[in-house]
Amino acid sequence: MTIRPKDFTKVVHAGVEPDPRTGAIMTPIFQTSTYVQEAPNVHKGWDYSRAGNPTRDALEEAFAALEGAKHGLAFSSGLAAEQAIIQILKPGDHVLVCDDVYGGTGRLFRRLFAKYDIHFEFLDMTQVEQVKAALRPETRLIWVETPTNPLLKVIDIQAMSALAKSKGALLVVDNTFASPIYQSPLELGADIVMHSTTKYIGGHSDIIGGAVMINDTKLYEEIKFVQFAAGAVPGPFESFLLLRSIKTLAVRMEKHSINAQAVAQFLQGHPRVAEVFFPGLSHHPQHALAAKQMRGYSGMVSFNLKGSYEDVVTFLQRLKVFALAESLGGVESLVNHPEKMTHASVPEDMRRKLGIGPNLIRLSCGIESAEDLVADLLEALR
Ligand code: P1T
């Protein structure tokens, strides 16, 4: 499992050209809402920053380069990116969604878009036959998050792509957990890739953002129209911060994954830990698939702690390096309690069925020293 050497180079240069006017090596922050025109609708290519902004244009090129896509689109959050994808559908359409998605994704589909008569069906996509059986003539999208949040199930992108194609549906992959460094869904047959760039792509817990990457130009134009017409775009400063972050994405991912592997192996051997979820462990049910479709296992580890909920809270409060907070993918390590935090909006019966209970803890391993992370966990497990 290794990062492709060319990806270290790609991330440094993705989307960025020296500024033609000044030679500035970094893309300037074009902090402007509008552009002066020579005559009505005669201008230098930009007329209004909801439609386009040079800093955002550079970011969108960088997004495309990261996923090896023809086109990239930037949004003001991961959920705004998801919303724009769903808004290409029409009432009556059917969407198959993997059961273990980020709580906010499920909430967007169940509570907002279900009102517009779009039918979302959640199911365990590690079971390919079940997905096949659930396809209907009106199925327009198969929505996959892999690895999943928070249980780190791994879904076969090629198998899902074949099923989508058999019905003329589109395959969307939320690639947030793997990052473009460790997984390339478009190469495996996905039609649309999306990211919460709040996570690994941003990497410093200081921005909220989203990305969509696509090869098909017609599909790109459809989603770009939603971006323009509805307007959930990032500002120039956020766009600049993301361009800056992308340069270190490969080196950060390498350290995140080394740390997560060390943390998962440590937890697996600890007597107070009941079960560890990490695709890089040989006992993980989809370990072989992960080894095939990913180039690394990324930085997320979940586990069940033995004992009562009070024991879990004591453990969370004892941690010093891991901060108790929502989100993931930043340079600093975070710990999250999915049942009460990120996945509180998942219906209770679904949470129970999935195994998101009071004892489940999710770790986002940062880029600190692996020894310090393990020592922090060991001390909190005393
Ligand atoms: O928060 P936002 O940038 O809107 O992205 C939503 C989102 C989409 N997809 C995945 C896989 C995600 O993990 C998220 C956001 N997740 C968290 C905030 C979290 O702590 O899991």
Average pLDDT over residues 24-39: 97
Tell me, using a 6 A CB cutoff, whether residue 77 lines ligand 1: yes
With contact defined as beta carbons under 8 Å apart, do 139 and 97 qualify?
Answer: no
Tell me, using a 6 A CB cutoff, whether residue 342 lines ligand 1: yes
Minimum-distance ligand 1 atom for the alpha carbon of 145: 11
Average pLDDT over residues 164-181: 98
Average pLDDT over residues 174-191: 98
Q: Is 182 annotated in the active site?
A: no
Q: Is 199 annotated in the active site?
A: yes
Minimum-distance ligand 1 atom for the alpha carbon of 327: 20
Please give the sequence-ordered ranges of beta strands (E in DSSP) within 76-191, or none if there are none.
94-98, 119-123, 139-145, 170-174
> What contacts 271, CB < 8 A, 6 or more positions away?
none
Looking at residue 306, what is its pLDDT? 98
Q: What is the pLDDT of residues 6-21, one digit of tens each?
A: 999 999 999 989 999 9
Minimum-distance ligand 1 atom for the alpha carbon of 150: 21
pLDDT greater than 90 at residue 75: yes
Tell me, using a 6 A CB cutoff, whether residue 327 lines ligand 1: yes
> What contacts 13, CB < 8 A, 6 or more positions away?
none
> From atom 5 of ligand 1, which residue's Cα is the shortest distance away?
78
Q: Is 174 annotated in the active site?
A: yes
Ligand 1 centre from 39 Cα, in Å? 43
- How far the first Cα of the chain sits from its last, in Å, is 33
Q: pLDDT category, 96, cuts 50, 70, 90?
A: very high
| H or E stretch at 226 | helix 217-230
- What is the number of H-type helices and E-type strands within the chain? 14, 12
Chain mean pLDDT for the chain: 97
Q: What is the pLDDT of residues 98-156, one digit of tens each?
A: 999 999 999 999 999 989 999 999 999 999 999 999 999 999 999 999 999 999 999 99
Cα(96)–Cα(139) distance, rounded to whole angstroms? 7
Q: pLDDT category, 1, cuts 50, 70, 90?
A: confident
Looking at residue 280, what is its pLDDT? 98
Q: Is 165 annotated in the active site?
A: no
Average pLDDT over residues 41-49: 97
Q: What is the pLDDT of residues 240-270, one digit of tens each?
A: 999 999 999 999 999 999 999 999 999 999 9
Ligand 1 centre from 346 Cα, in Å? 14
Class assignment of domain 5-246? alpha beta
Would you state the structure tokens that stand for residue 186, as one six-digit string? 């478009």
Looking at residue 4, what is its pLDDT? 97
Same fold: 5-246 with 250-380: no
Q: What is the pLDDT of residues 323-343, one digit of tens each?
A: 999 999 999 999 999 999 999
Tell me, using a 6 A CB cutoff, whether residue 198 lines ligand 1: yes
Average pLDDT over residues 349-370: 98
CATH of domain 250-380: 3.90.1150.10
Domains of the chain, by residue range, sit at: 5-246, 250-380
**3-class SS at 65?**
helix
